Structure 1
Amino acid sequence: MTTPTGAELDARAVALDRAHVFHSWSAQAALAPMAVAGGKGTRVHDHSGREYLDFSSQLVNVNIGHQHPAVVAAIQEQAGRLATIGPATAHLVRGEAAQRITARAPDGMDKVFFTNGGADAIENAIRMARLHTGRDKVISRYRSYHGNTGAAINATGDWRRIPNEYARGHVHVFGPYLYRSEFWAGSPEEESARALQHLRRVLQCEGPESVAAILLETIPGTAGVLVPPPGYLPGVRALADEFGILLILDEVMAGFGRTGEWFALDAFDVRPDLITFAKGVNSGYVPVGGVVISNPVAATFDERVFPGGLTYSGHPLAAASIVASIEAMESEGIVAHAKSVGTDVLGPGLTALADKHPIVGEVRGSGVFWAVELVADPATRTPVSAAVMGRAKAELVARGLLPFIADNRIHVVPPCVVTTDEVAEALAIYDDVLSLLDAVG
């Protein structure tokens, strides 16, 4: 029997996908997915051997890089020992995973409820907040993404919410975004103060006694890597305390090294009541998510049944991957590396591109979590068209770089283990493509 060539395997992968796989967030007919056969570190490759520099981290989750040997080995060893067990049991690796997560959380957050991913982490955080407070409403931002399940998609602010509005009690506000300020602000301090006043007025108009939680991505990711200005998150915490509302911080995308911190909240003077996490905790090697719970909220359910559960909560393969990931991040200094790469190499490099290319309106971010916002006119800040972004994606892929594209932005989000040489390689590719786009934007 003839061994298939790499090209034949790539073609078969695409053919099977198009025949049988239904893709998310897509009209199905025009899809042309890329075949990926393997990866290592910051690169992936197809069956034919062509390599791509992965500056998307897939869905901004492969924080520790592709195929980290320690994490792969931990999953293999756990599968040989015990591949699955129900969540009602006490299983050592599950407890070890929870302990390592809570050790990185703020003091007084000692329990973890494990889920299968980020969306159901949000669902359960909202459930806990409603049961703890006895209230119903959840305040979240328009510029946000929290997942594709009932309450999570309603808490989301972008277009994906609108065809999926089935859950109750969701109210949205505008958060700070100085480059496109909703508040006519002229400085980060003004933007922060006015966004907080807007939030206060919405709370007052909705009736704060009806609000269970304020749910925020610590740094909104898909919405544009919107780093909060000074005072904003502490101000939200103060409003929550004033009105007896819980603060939920969504760290699904921003957590576990992505911003150069263990949790993105570590860079801000804020302590939430609940933290949601998911893919970054183990780089998505096995589906997992969870809620880190403050002790007062956890105590609500000491004598009261928590009406929620999942068959695969704290799945042993996922737990083993978490333990191995966190241990590798600690022993290899991966979080500190992500911070220094962002501060010393990636941030300055992207800023230099912004200075060079008129199509770049703004660059913002930290660690390995950046957005390059493209505009047709720097004066009016008019976003470039979808056609321009489509060309940007095609040109980047043609040069061997996998991008993360959202609206009029290129999100620059490599694995936390990216090297300075790989950053330089990517910056040269971005420079080349931006030069082309300057002429058409």
Structure 2
Amino acid sequence: MSDALLSPDQPMTTQEVVEWTKKLNYGTWRYQKSWNPMHIVDAEGCYFTDANGKRYLDFSAQLMCSNLGHKNAAVIKAIADQAQKLAYIMPSYATDARVELSRLLLEVLPEGITKFFFTTSGTEANEAAFKIARMYTGKTKIIARYRSYHGSTMASIAATGDPRRWAMEPGGKGQGFLFAPEVNCYKCPIKHTYPECGIACADYLEHMIENESDVAAVIVEPVVGTNGVLVPPKEYFPKLREICDRRGVLLIADEVMSGWGRTGEWFAVDHWGVKPDILVTAKGITSAYVPLGLCATTGKIAEYFEDHFFAHGHTYEAHPITLAPAVAAIREMQRLNLINRAKEVGAYLGEKLKALKPKHPSIGEVRGLGMFWAIELVRDQEKKTPFNTKQDKVDGKATVVDQVAAEMLKRGVSIQAWISHFVIAPPLIIEKAEIDTAVDALDQALAIADKAL
């Protein structure tokens, strides 16, 4: 490749765009030698288009974030209008966009969550949550769960239970993070059976709190995202809330992925009527049109900082161009009635996915809520043995789910795969006919997994 290719007067071919991307950029969470990125030039509705003009149905809303789909006119207009009006001002000033979004958040967030710190990503929002929890309680330790992902910055990756943390070790305990068993009734990590267990995973978490000296908070994804769309039984969150209250521990809900209508409620905690002390979110807040994260706390926590130093901040906090499109995105969700739509169309999606299990011996479980689903692949249905392990992923081995996803891409459907399952979370605007198309492609591609048995 010649440096002359960088001239703006000399358009690059798709091959050159891909080669320069690989040469100059890092591909995330992968061995670099295996990265061969597709050149994408357009996206609209539930589809994105490559440089050859081929369209792909976006069956996972990119990284489970493009809830409104692509090219929503109202959100795009909000970005352009805000850029013309006020592109940037430092966070110590008040702005119209800041107040408008903050007041709108009071309409959709769980009752009692009333004070906001804006960031530019979910991982930064979690960093803020950890700092706030430690400042407020005067304690240091935070309990997370093994099947979890909370972000890529240092504290957030230390709080992450999945193998993406391993390269950063010692990360967890070195930064005051401890890990509890996840809620996984399909394959319980502590070998219990629901409902006879009495929600033993919550009891185990309380046992940890009791035997640690200074636990500040527990952080959970109400519905676990990348690590399997694990939906807890109805008793779990009320019990966890009661444990945290009784033990004087804050409850942090990481709704980066599960928020903004994804599960058929504004936020997943709404399904169980539980109010966290701190709620963290990002992704769907702007439908990923611009990077925005939110760390939101109760009024009680906010009152503490009236007379105590709030030791956190950054240059892009409350950046006007990130806030205005969030207002537009929330209003679009309200206008299009996407919360109810996620319930209704999500139920249709769930039934279509569940119908695949009797046809494919490689499917271990189909689970989900609203427009948020997972299909777990197994080598043995009875033993629930996965095709691949976490170590396989870290070692860069080709996984069965990746092979199935690659076959689906050939068929014009994009789906997110992770270790042994697919995360199915299409834009909330998807039509039933588009779901039929995507599920049909999945049905055919699963022949690869069935053959691998």
Q: What TM-score results when the alignment is normalised by the length of structure 1?
A: 0.95
Q: Distance in 2 between matches of 1:358 and 1:61?
A: 31
Whether 1:178 aligns to 2:195 is: no
Is the 2:225–2:258 Cα contact (8 Å) retained in structure 1? yes
Q: Secondary structure at the match of 1:418?
A: coil
Q: Which residue of 2 aligns with 1:326?
A: 330
Decide which of 259, 266, 271 is 2:263's aligned counterpart.
Answer: 259
1:191–1:229: 8 Å Cα contact kept in structure 2? no
- The amino acid that maps onto 1:234 is P
The amino acid that maps onto 2:217 is A
Quick one: structure 1 residues 338 and 100, their matched pair in 2 at CA, closer, same or farther if it must change by over 3 Å? same
Confirm or deny that 1:168 pairs with 2:180: no
The CA distance in 2 between the partners of 1:142 and 1:387, in whole Å, is: 21
SS at match of 1:75: helix
Report the AA paired with residue 227 of structure 1.
V
Moved over 4 A (4+): none
Which residue in the other structure is 1:347 paired with?
350
Report the count of equivalent residues: 432
Matches within 5 A, 1:292-441: 292-343=296-347, 345-385=348-388, 386-441=398-453
Change (3 A) 1:250 1:86: same
| Contact 1:375–1:382 (8 Å) recurs in 2 | yes
AA at the equivalent of 1:406: W
Q: Deviations over 1:40-98 (max 9, x none)?
A: 11100012210000112111100111111110111011111111111111101111112
SS of residue in 2 equivalent to 1:363: strand
Q: Do the aligned partners of 2:403 and 2:448 also contact (CA within 8 Å) in 1?
A: no
**Structure 1 residues 439, 100: CA separation in 2 closer, same or farther (over 3 Å shift)?**
same
- Tell whether 2:212 aligns with 1:206: yes
Task: Find 2:160's aligned residue among 133, 156, 159.
Answer: 156
With over 3 angstroms needed to count, the CA separation of the structure-2 counterparts of 1:218 and 1:44, relative to structure 1, is same
CA contact (8 A) 1:218 1:250 kept: yes
Deviation at 1:435, TM superposition (A): 2.8
Matches of 1:418 and 1:10, distance apart in 2: 29
Distance (Å, rounded) in 1 between the aligned partners of 2:26 and 2:165: 20
How much does 1:389 deviate?
Answer: 2.1
Question: How far 1:311 sits from its partner (Å)?
Answer: 0.7
2:196 is matched with: 190
Identify unmatched segments of 5+ residues in structure 2: 1-7, 389-397
Structure 2 residue aligned with 1:147: 151
Partner SS state of residue 211, structure 2: helix
CA contact (8 A) 1:176 1:192 kept: no
1:81-160 matches, cutoff 5 A = 81-160=85-164
**Distance in 2 separating the partners of 1:409 and 1:19:** 31
CA contact (8 A) 2:399 2:419 kept: no
Instruction: Determine helix, strand or coil for the equivalent of 2:132.
Output: helix
Q: In the alignment, what sits opposite 1:222?
A: 226
**SS in structure 1 opposite 2:294?**
strand
Question: Following TM superposition, by how much is the alpha carbon of 1:101 offset from its aligned partner in structure 2, in angstroms?
Answer: 1.8
TM-score (normalizing by structure 2): 0.93
Q: Does structure 2 conserve the Cα–Cα contact (< 8 Å) formed by 1:399 and 1:429?
A: yes
What SS is found at the alignment partner of 2:408?
Answer: helix
Q: Quote how far apart the aligned CAs of 1:256 are.
A: 0.3
Are 1:278 and 2:290 matched, yes or no?
A: no
What is the CA-CA distance between 1:390 and the residue it aligns to? 2.7
Aligned identity (percent) is 39
Against the structure 1 CA distance between its residues 396 and 67, is the aligned structure 2 distance closer, same or farther, given a 3 Å change threshold?
Answer: same
Deviation for aligned residue 1:186 = 2.5
Identify if the C-alpha distance between structure 1 residues 63 and 436 changes in structure 2 by more than 3 Å, giving closer, same or farther: same
Question: Equivalent of 2:32, from 13, 28, 36?
Answer: 28
CA distance in 1, matches of 2:429, 2:422: 20
d(CA) in 2 for partners of 1:327, 1:10? 37
Q: Distance in 1 between matches of 2:399 and 2:238?
A: 40
Whole-angstrom distance in 2 between the partners of 1:327 and 1:197: 40
Deviates most, 122-131 or 12-21: 12-21
SS in 2 for 1:132: helix
* 8 Å Cα contact 1:138-1:171 kept in structure 2: yes
Letter in 2 for 1:163: A
Task: Name the structure 1 match of 2:394.
Answer: none
Counterpart amino acid of residue 384 in structure 2? R
Q: Deviation string for 1:375-408 (max 9, x for gaps)? A: 1111111112343223212101110111100111
Partner amino acid for 1:203?
I
In the alignment, residue 57 of structure 2 is paired with which amino acid?
Answer: L
Q: Distance in 2 between matches of 1:337 and 1:146?
A: 28
Residue 245 of structure 1 is matched in structure 2 by: 249
User: Counterpart of 2:199 in 1: which secondary structure?
Assistant: helix
Q: What one-letter code is carried by the residue in structure 2 that aligns with 1:197?
A: D
Task: Give the SS at the match of 2:436.
Answer: helix
Q: Secondary structure at the match of 2:219?
A: strand
Cα drift, residue 8 of structure 1: 6.3
1:419 CA drift (Å): 0.8
What one-letter code is carried by the residue in structure 1 that aligns with 2:429?
A: V
Q: In the TM superposition, what whole-angstrom CA distance separates every residue of 1:172-224 from its partner, at most 9, and x where no partner exists?
A: 1002201111232222x2355211211121111213xx010011011110110
CA distance in 2, matches of 1:365, 1:390: 20
